[in-house]
């Protein structure tokens, strides 16, 4: 299935709230991604995502609608050459290879536009789909921290996957 990565717009609000308001998505993300996902949260998110130049948080557009998001979050201090990758995709589009290709595109975009050497992601231990998508996009498991996350009343494992700037990319 085809998709594009593009900047967020306030015109995406309805599709954002429609697709993001899903417990199956929220259960695999930090508590900053709430459930239920409200119009107010959507407005705040779009305002934040639209504020950076170049954009570091992009919409995943499928069939003309914002059906997910993917972003690179700059790190500070001694971690400043790293960025954390975060992403989600509307449930109707799971299992179609979209997120793996979106991750690969975002990695290329990140190394082109930002002064970083490493991009990492931290999927939950039970989120096998996300782990496989990262692996297919060239990420390597660097660490597993057992029962360090507390989400929905239970302790979960945290994994750290990463990829490095290729030597041939300045």
> What tokens appear for 24 in the block?
């199956």
Is pLDDT at 169 greater than 80 in this prediction?
no
pLDDT (tens digit, 9 = 90+) per residue, 124-147? 999 999 999 999 999 999 999 999
pLDDT (tens digit, 9 = 90+) per residue, 22-55? 999 999 999 999 999 999 999 999 999 999 999 9
Between CA 11 and CA 14 the distance in angstroms is 7
> What tokens appear for 127 in the block?
């989120």
Calculated CA dihedral for residues 42, 44, 46, 48, nearest 10 degrees: -150
Label the pairing between strands 118-121 and 82-89. Answer: parallel
Q: State which CATH number among 3.30.565.10, 3.40.640.10, 3.10.20.80, 3.40.630.30 fits the domain covering 4-164.
A: 3.40.630.30
DSSP tag of 78: G
pLDDT (tens digit, 9 = 90+) per residue, 85-98? 999 999 999 999 99
> pTM, whole model, 2 decimals?
0.95
Mean pLDDT of 88-114: 97
Confidence band (pLDDT; 50, 70, 90) for 1? confident
């Amino acid at each position: 299935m085809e998709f594009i990565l593009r900047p967020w717009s306030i015109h995406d609000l309805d599709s954002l709230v429609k697709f993001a308001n899903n417990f199956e998505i929220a259960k695999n993300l930090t508590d900053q991604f709430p459930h239920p996902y409200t119009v107010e949260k959507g407005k705040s998110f779009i305002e934040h995502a639209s504020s950076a130049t170049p954009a570091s948080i992009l919409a995943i557009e499928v069939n003309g609608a914002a059906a997910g998001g993917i972003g690179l979050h700059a790190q500070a201090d001694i971690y400043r050459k790293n960025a954390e990758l975060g992403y989600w995709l509307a449930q109707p589009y799971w299992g179609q290879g979209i997120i793996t290709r979106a991750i690969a595109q975002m990695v290329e975009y990140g190394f082109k536009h930002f002064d970083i050497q490493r991009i990492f992601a931290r999927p939950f231990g039970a989120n096998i789909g996300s782990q496989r998508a990262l692996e297919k996009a060239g990420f390597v498991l660097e660490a597993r921290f057992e029962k360090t996350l507390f989400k929905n009343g239970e302790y979960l494992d945290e994994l750290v996957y990463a990829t490095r700037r290729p030597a041939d990319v300045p």
